[in-house]
Every structure is written in C-alpha cells, then in structure tokens.
A and B are shown apart, each in its own frame.
Chain A
Amino acid sequence: MMKKKFYLILLVILTAFSSYGQDSVSTGSLTITGYVDTYYQYNLNSPSDRKNGGRIFDVYHNNFSLGLVQTAFKYTYGKAEAVLDLTYGPNAELGNFGNSGTSKIIKQAYLAYGFTDKLKFTIGQFGTHIGYELIDAPLNYNYSLSYLFGNGPFYHTGAKLNYTFSDKAGIMVGVVNGWDGLQDFNDKKSLAAQVFVSPVEGVNLYLNWIGGDEYNTLSAFGSKKGSFTNLFDLTGTVAASDKISLGVNAAYGMFSSGYAKEITDEDIAAADPVSAGILEADQGKYDKDASWFGVAGYANVAFNDVFGLGLRVEHFNDPDGVRYFGPLVVNALTATANIALAEGRFNIKPEIRFDAADSEFFVENEGKAKKTQTTLGSAFILKF
C-alpha cells in the first residue's frame, strides 16, 4: 500500500515538472528597424540668430540639417519583450534631454511581459503616452512638430500596467520618475494613466493624464517642493475613409505652485542663500498657480499610395509662461505633402508653416521680434 502511495506521489511530482514553464512555445524573434531624417528649412523672417522661433526639432533656418538617426531593436520571446530604441544626432540630443553621458542615445529602453493576453507589464524608459505626435519623424504626417508636442513630456522612466478589455477598450496606469528624465531629479514620483476607447470602427480615442510634483526637473516646473502639475490630454484619430484620416489633440495643464503667495524681493532678501536662490529662480514664473492649454486638428488625404497632403491647425495658449517659451499665445497652420518613393521607404515631405502669435515672439533679421513667422522647407526620411 505504501509502495503504491509512493509511486502515486512520484507520478504527480513528475507530471508537475514535465509541464513546468508552459509559457507559450516560441523561438523568439528580433526585429531591427530605424530611420534617418534630414531637412532644409527657410524662414522668411531671416532671423538673426538663424533659428526658427517656437520650433522643437526643425530649429535651424537656411541650414541643411541632420534630424536624427534611429536604430530600434525589438526582441520578443514568448510573452516577454525587450525594446531598445537608440537615437543619434541633433534631434536625439533634444529629444533625450533628460539623459546624460552614454544614456543620451537612449530614446527608449524597456522590458515588457504579458502576464495574460490582456495584462501587460512594462518597466524602463518609454515614450510618453501623452499627445498625438511623436519624436519619430516617419510616424508623424507633418515634419515640424506642434507646440503641444514641444511643451509636453517626451518620455518617462518608470513602470506601467496595460489592461486590454478588448480591441475597443483598454486602460493603463503607471508610476514614473516624472517628465523627461532617466533618473529621478527629485524625491517625488508622478502617476500616469490612460483610457482608450474605440466607440465605432475607425475611431480611436485616448484620454491621458500625468500628475505629480515636478519640482527641480529639467522640464521647467520651478524649484518648490510641494508644487503639483497635472496634464490632461485627449488624442483622437478617425479613419474617415480609405483616403482621408482626421485627428485631434487637446491638452490642458494645471500648475499648482506650492507657494502661499507670490515671491517678493523682500522674501528673497530675508531668505538664507540656498533658499534665496530657489526663490529668485521661481519669482515671477513659478510662484503662482497657472494653466495652459492647446488644441490641434489634423486632416490627411492620401490621393494614392505615392502622394498625399496633410493639414494641421493649432492653437496654443500659455499666457503665464509656465511652459518652455515664456508667455505665448499662438496659432499655427501647417501644410505638408508626403511623397513616398522606393516602395514607401523614402519619404519626401515639402512643408509650409505659418505661425502667428499675439505678441512679438519671432526673431527677424535685425534682431527685432515680430508676431508672425513663415517657414518653407522639406524633410527627407529614409526608413529601414
């Protein structure tokens, strides 16, 4: 009897070990992609500093410029995934500005694991969930980036969970170091969240949020511990037809300064040297609550697989100057053509853009400023 029990137990143990690691059987796959982009742009203001005002990556006037070079590695083994997205060049330095040293080339580096078909965990440095536009030139229709893109976060380092209810709905929650930093620049974490719905076929809506104390970060939210920044963002895409696609992006940001009152010169004089430095840096900009918002609409028409046209209209409103450019209320109209050659791998994007601010924001050729700016140019993008 004992012998039978022993063999039964042994059988159970052997069965358990023989089905250990019933993770989906996969040989693993590595995908390597990338692109190179360059551009030439002429600013009709002929700015004396040779830079286009308010621009994020298409910075230089009358200059043949390299944008960036990307190599992206994606390795998938069963339910596990690793992404290493490396970028090099001038726009890489701008895009990865919160990194330093050899980390400067890291645009994304993260690991992900699908616990189930619906639940996925991601940890590392990953692109932001906020906004319609991306750093990757091939993934945007327009080459120049919007004010909304430039004044929002580019990436985060942290961990997040995605739950996909179906192909029509999903959510994401995450904890990150903050806006744009490989390391945590302060002792506060930010929370990130996203809700995705596709109410009808061809319509995708993303409601995004990030909130936290961003003091002392490189993303320009002052030096006061106890501040709080909320950014709400709505991104939507509509496949209106086989040839026409529409998009919308709207964002609303709220900055709570953490200061009981606005900083005066007397406050600075009365403070110790360290505190005085902080107060001086925050005076007039980060010592009062502020908000900013923007809205952009997109319409793209693909006349055929070789030629298309895209239009973007944007309004950006930051009257308190809590974001990067200082007080700015501006409208922008951008028209971009897309010419796809070499089986769709080589794209030429001629573009014209008109910016109109409510103040003299754009530099012109004598070092003066004016309210408008028009740029003409083209980008050249090769994907591999």
Chain B
Amino acid sequence: MEKFGVVIFFFVIMAFTSFSQEIPGFVFSEVIVVDSLDSGNLLKTGKEWVVENGFTSIDTSGLNEVKAENSFFVYQKGLISKQVHGKISYTFLLEVKNNKYKYTFSEFTFHYYKQNRNYEMKPTGKEKSLNDPTAKGWQKTWVQHKYSTKKDILLFIQSLKESLIPVIQPQVVKQSTPSDF
C-alpha cells in the first residue's frame, strides 16, 4: 500500500512539474524540474542564456530571477519582396529554485510601423496586444504574425531548456597503485 501511495504521489508530482506551455492569452510558461542543479547554477546559466540570445533590458536585481525584454520584426509579403510590417516585443522572466525553474514569455505586443520619407520603417507609437484575437481589416496578416511569433518562441524555449540541462561531470577515476591493490 505504501509503495502504491509513493507511485501515485510520483505521478501527481510529474503532472504538476510540466503543465501546458500555453495558458489562456498569448503567454508561454512552464515549470521545469531539473535534478542536480541548484538555484545558483540555474540563475548563472539563465543570465548567460539571455545575453547570448540578444535579450535587452536584462534585470537581475530580483532574488533568484532574471527579467529581460526582446523584440523582432514581422513582415508582410509584398508583390516581389517582403516588407517590414511591424515589431513584436515581449518580456521574459526566469525564476529559479533549487532543482527547478519557471520560464514565462508574456506581454506580447505588436508595434505598428509606417514608412517615412526615407523609405525607412519607423514605429508610429500605436500598439496592439497579441492577446487581441482580431485585427479588423488585416486579420490574415495578424494570424500570420501570431503564428510566426509562436514558432520563434517555441524555438527559444527549446534552446533555454537545452542550456539548463545539467551537464554530467565525468567521474574522476583514481589511479590505483600496486600498494592499493
């Protein structure tokens, strides 16, 4: 009975350690359990990861967490070449504890861009949250932006997970001497 209880407890813990990546609204969040990595190592690797991946406004002032921002251009297909349509920005939060961490990609915002007299695409100041399901007059493009954002974020999540996998240190084999034998 005791063993059965342990097995049930194990499955319950597993369920809670990896609930769905997407939660209502345009947010990606997950708790990952990692054996053999304490919060210090997780935090250090997390900081290195955001720097390597070009995140900006990196804030490590919080205890056991890393905050950062990132953005990328999204495009509209022109007759011959693709054209910048706008920019999507988001925030990233990594919270760490011993042997586990939680990542959150959220606050996805589309920034409207407009061409200026020098044929440069510049922000207009107008924004739209990716939580908004519709874009009147340009729904097709809006869906495409959401799709490409999701694709990029899933790649980031994969990269983050791979960087936070504990590296198994090779055991040092002590050389025996005739006297040890």
Asked if B174 lies at the interface with its beta carbon under 8 angstroms from chain A, I say no
Q: Does A166 contact B (CB under 8 A)?
A: no
Does B62 sit at the interface, judged by CB under 8 A? no
Task: Contact check, B137 vs A344: say whether CB atoms are below 8 A apart.
Answer: yes
Q: Is A242 an interface residue (CB 8 A)?
A: yes
A27-35, A49-57, A93-101 - the one binding chain B? A27-35
Given A30-B81, A31-B83, A384-B79, A305-B119 contact (CB < 8 Å): no
List residues 229-287 of chain A with CB under 8 A from any CB of chain B.
Answer: 239, 242, 245
Work out how many contacts link A and B, with CB atoms closer than 8 A: 58
> What is the CA–CA distance of A304 and B112 in the complex, to the nearest angstrom?
13
Give the size of the chain A interface in residues (CB under 8 angstroms). Answer: 28
CB nearest to B125 among chain A residues:
A239
Nearest B-chain residue to A29, judged by Cβ: B81
Residues of B within 8 A of A343 (CB): 76, 137-138, 140-141
Give the B interface residue count (CB, 8 A).
21
Min CB gap B142→A, angstroms: 9
Q: CB-CB < 8 A to B59: which residues of A?
A: none
Chain B residues with Cβ under 8 A from A31's Cβ? Answer: 78, 81, 83, 119
Shortest distance from the beta carbon of B90 to any chain A beta carbon, whole Å: 19
Nearest-neighbour CB distance to chain A for B30, whole angstroms, equals 32
Partner of A304, one of B76, B136, B140: B136
A83 to B120, CA, bound (A): 11
Cβ-closest chain A residue relative to B115: A139
Query: Is A321's beta carbon under 8 Å from chain B?
Result: no
B135 adjacent to chain A (CB < 8 Å): yes
Residue pairs across A and B with Cβ atoms less than 8 A apart, 8 shown, are A33-B119, A74-B119, A83-B119, A136-B117, A242-B127, A304-B136, A343-B138, A384-B80
Closest Cβ of chain A to B57, distance in Å, is: 15
Q: Which residues of A106-129 have CB atoms within 8 Å of chain B's CB atoms? A: 127
- Asked if residues A304 and B79 are in contact (CB atoms below 8 Å), the reply is no
Known: A31-B83, A304-B137, A305-B135. A242 touches B126 (CB 8 A): yes
> Please, how many angstroms separate the alpha-carbon atoms of A136 and B116 in the complex?
10
Q: Considering the chains assembled together, what is the distance between the CA atoms of A384 and B83 in angstroms?
A: 9
Is the Cβ of B79 less than 8 Å from the Cβ of A344?
Answer: no
Q: For the complex, what is the distance from the CA of A127 to the CA of B116, rounded to whole Å?
A: 11
B119 CB contacts on chain A under 8 angstroms = 31, 33, 72, 74, 83, 85
